[in-house]
Structure 1
Amino acid sequence: MTTLKDIAQLAGVSTATVSRVMNGKGEASLQTIQKIQKIIEQVNYHPNRTAKILSAQKSNLIALLIPNFSNPFFSELVQKIEQAANRQGYQIYLCNSEDNRQKVEYYLETMQDNYVAGAIIDSLFVKQADLDRLEQRQIPTVTIDRTHLKHPYAALNVDHVQGEYLATKNILQQQPQAKLVFLSGPAGEQSSKDRYQGYCKALREVGATSLAVLYGDFTYESGYQQVDQFLQSRTDLQGIVCSNDAMAVGALRACQDHQLRVPQDVQLVGYDNTRLGKFMNPRLSTVQQFAPNYFDLMIDELTQKQKQQYCLTPQFIARESTYGGKND
């Protein structure tokens, strides 16, 4: 296999000169540059990428730690972050923790072993000590969404209180005294608590009634099971506020199985603005967490190491599953 040293010997120059030419640093005559480039082409030389990474102790990989793929929000999040990373010349090293602390620890170690250029962290099971260790090893971090930690590093947090407030308020603007059910994520999760707080805030403003709080786990199945079970004992509800789109899809099916029309009998709103919502019947009103430019912002925070912290305001998307929604 041809090496850098072989190229240098064929060109009659030092390996340092060949390296500078290959990296576009110039510092050689035009004749020498052309000679080296011709030799490289003739011998079909490709640099050893692994050796280069080990030498520089840095790669073009950005680690992305997510909790799971069962929630469609995360699979779409991965795609959008990868596209933003690719635009700036980076590749994604995907780490699916499956909400397991042991897997989180494993991936934190492999991030260091792979000399990643930075790490985007979306996990309930990451501690500040983990971020400290990565930062001490020159791996900048940015936490997003579910990582509710007070730390000095870059962060993009979402105001879920405001997001669910907007979703609930949309239903109540059309039906001020609607009897509502809140379909929550796991009770102990901070994002679940924040969304419930926003729901309650909207109810208090108009004195509306909450019939129940149902606890799912952000999956289609839990949304269906919780709403189906509730509807077996009473059907006087007029609206369901869901903590994510996946549970909203399950809730929609449960309503249909109980011959309840959406939105005529029951208004329904999701959260996350996943693509599936646009293709449901009716199309799902929902909340968008991240505007498109925020994904480029995540990469900028890592590459520029600014350590800024942002609180992002979600946007309500009105579609056919609530009164006054539109077909988009």
Structure 2
Amino acid sequence: MAKMSDVAKKAGVSVATVSRALCKPETVKPETRKKVEVAIQELNYKPNMLARQFRTNETKTIMVVVPDIANPFFSRVLRGIESVAHKKGYQVLLGDTSNNIDQEQRYLEILKQRLADGMILLTARMDKDSLLEISQDYPVVLACEYIEGSDIPIVSIDNISSARKVTEHLIKLGHTRIAHITGPTNVILSRDRIKGYKQALETNDLFYEEVFVQEGDFTYESGFNQMSKLLALNNRPSAVFAANDEMAIGAIKAVKLQGLKVPEDIAIVGFDNIKVSSIFEPALTTISQPKFEMGNVAMELLLKILDGQEVKRKQFVLADELIIRESCGGKVNSTI
């Protein structure tokens, strides 16, 4: 395996010059830098990244923490993060908490140990004070989930407005008995979607029934189970708003197993616009989040912090879109 001294000898420069060409190329003359680059290619030299970390006090690695890697929503956000990170020479290290708050806390230790330069959290379920304390000492950005009253840079949509929008769509279609399968209520975005649902009912003078609100956990199985409970009610709902697409698909499965049809017997809408929502039968009406853009903006924010720039704007609320498909029985405006 080629060493830095071999590169220096072949390029006709000192080892120190090779080191500068790798770590601070702007300090090396273009013609000298070119010689070093040619030597590196010919010798297939692989720089020792650990040694470089000790010299520069940076890892060129960022940590991204997700609550559940099995949820397809996060794959598009991750691609948005990586598209910016790779252009800037950063590697992305992925951590999956499996919705475990203790695991989320353990991933923060990676920052404390300087094994990553910064972190993007796509989950924020730990103690608020602990997270705020970490963010004061280390570069941290929140995306998708968020914390109320936080000074941490945040990238999200307006979940209250989005939930109100999709619920009002069901009301405009003539539904008055609308149920809601929520996400975990210890998560703020779940609580915000409940608020939006309630606001839509109140604005349209519809009665809020507690039995129509069932708590899921964002999984297909919970959507199926909570829908089964709703179907067992004497006065079952005519429409259901599920807080994400996976639960909506589980709900549709439960309806079909009862010999009922969607949307003829029960209309169902979801949230997130994951890829399968457009190809499922019936195709799912849902709120589309700008997942790739969320990742882009979050990574760009983190890079500014890493570069020592002042981030004056701390909250970025991106636009969502109501995608109307067959599952609600409304006029279709998109099938993509």
TM-score, shorter chain, exceeding 0.5: yes
Q: Is the 8 A contact 1:222 1:250 kept in 2?
A: yes
Q: Is the 8 A contact 1:184 1:214 kept in 2?
A: yes
Deviation at residue 13 of structure 1 after TM alignment: 4.2
Please give the alpha-carbon distance, in whole angstroms, between the structure 1 residues aligned to 2:146 and 2:112: 20
The residue matched to 1:230 in structure 2 has which SS?
Answer: helix
- Which residue of structure 2 lines up, in the alignment, with residue 324 of structure 1? 331
Please give the alpha-carbon distance, in whole angstroms, between the structure 1 residues aligned to 2:13 and 2:88: 34
Give percent identity, aligned residues only: 28
Q: Is the 8 A contact 2:76 2:291 kept in 1?
A: no
- Which residue of structure 1 lines up, in the alignment, with residue 184 of structure 2? 186
Please give the alpha-carbon distance, in whole angstroms, between the structure 2 residues aligned to 1:39 and 1:218: 53
- Which residue of structure 2 lines up, in the alignment, with residue 203 of structure 1? 201
Please give the alpha-carbon distance, in whole angstroms, between the structure 2 residues aligned to 1:37 and 1:192: 52
- Which residue of structure 2 lines up, in the alignment, with residue 3 of structure 1? 3
- Provide closer, same or farther for how the CA distance between residues 282 and 87 of structure 1 changes in structure 2, counting only shifts above 3 A: farther
- Which residue of structure 2 lines up, in the alignment, with residue 265 of structure 1? 265
Deviation at residue 43 of structure 1 after TM alignment: 4.1
Please give the alpha-carbon distance, in whole angstroms, between the structure 2 residues aligned to 1:270 and 1:33: 54
The residue matched to 1:119 in structure 2 has which SS?
Answer: strand
The residue matched to 1:186 in structure 2 has which SS?
Answer: coil
- What code does the residue aligned with 2:327 have? S
User: Which whole-Å deviations, capped at 9, do the CAs of 1:83-105 have from their partners, x for residues lacking one?
Assistant: 34334432211111122233223
- Which residue of structure 2 lines up, in the alignment, with residue 151 of structure 1? 150
Please give the alpha-carbon distance, in whole angstroms, between the structure 2 residues aligned to 1:309 and 1:29: 41
- What code does the residue aligned with 2:50 have? T
Q: Is the 8 A contact 1:64 1:93 kept in 2?
A: yes
1:281-320 alignment to 2 at 5 Å? 281-290=281-290, 292-305=292-305, 306-307=310-311, 308-320=314-326
- Provide closer, same or farther for how the CA distance between residues 28 and 247 of structure 1 changes in structure 2, counting only shifts above 3 A: closer
- What code does the residue aligned with 1:207 have? D
Q: Is the 8 A contact 1:172 1:178 kept in 2?
A: yes
User: Which whole-Å deviations, capped at 9, do the CAs of 1:35-88 have from their partners, x for residues lacking one?
Assistant: 655654554432212211222121222211111124332344334433343344
Deviation at residue 202 of structure 1 after TM alignment: 1.0
Q: Is the 8 A contact 2:142 2:154 kept in 1?
A: yes
- Which residue of structure 2 lines up, in the alignment, with residue 125 of structure 1? 126
- Which residue of structure 2 lines up, in the alignment, with residue 171 of structure 1? 170
The residue matched to 2:283 in structure 1 has which SS?
Answer: coil
- Which residue of structure 1 lines up, in the alignment, with residue 50 of structure 2? 50
The residue matched to 2:26 in structure 1 has which SS?
Answer: coil
290-299 or 249-258: bigger deviation: 290-299
Q: Is the 8 A contact 1:61 1:117 kept in 2?
A: yes
Please give the alpha-carbon distance, in whole angstroms, between the structure 2 residues aligned to 1:33 and 1:85: 24
- What code does the residue aligned with 2:140 have? T
| TM-score when normalising by structure 2 | 0.85
- Which residue of structure 1 lines up, in the alignment, with residue 26 of structure 2? 25
Please give the alpha-carbon distance, in whole angstroms, between the structure 2 residues aligned to 1:204 and 1:103: 39
- What code does the residue aligned with 1:216 have? G
Q: Is the 8 A contact 2:242 2:271 kept in 1?
A: yes
Aligned residues: 324
Please give the alpha-carbon distance, in whole angstroms, between the structure 1 residues aligned to 2:35 and 2:77: 46
Please give the alpha-carbon distance, in whole angstroms, between the structure 1 residues aligned to 2:183 and 2:28: 60
| TM-score when normalising by structure 1 | 0.87
- Provide closer, same or farther for how the CA distance between residues 111 and 158 of structure 1 changes in structure 2, counting only shifts above 3 A: same
User: Which whole-Å deviations, capped at 9, do the CAs of 1:139-193 have from their partners, x for residues lacking one?
Assistant: 4211123232433231113321111101101111121x52111111223432222
Structure 1: any 5+ residue segments left out of the alignment? none
- Provide closer, same or farther for how the CA distance between residues 281 and 13 of structure 1 changes in structure 2, counting only shifts above 3 A: closer
User: Which whole-Å deviations, capped at 9, do the CAs of 1:272-311 have from their partners, x for residues lacking one?
Assistant: 1111111111100011233543322111101112432223
- Which residue of structure 1 lines up, in the alignment, with residue 97 of structure 2? 97
- Provide closer, same or farther for how the CA distance between residues 312 and 15 of structure 1 changes in structure 2, counting only shifts above 3 A: same
- What code does the residue aligned with 2:168 have? K
Q: Supply the RMSD in Å over aligned alpha carbons.
A: 2.6
- Provide closer, same or farther for how the CA distance between residues 48 and 218 of structure 1 changes in structure 2, counting only shifts above 3 A: same
- Which residue of structure 1 lines up, in the alignment, with residue 247 of structure 2? 247
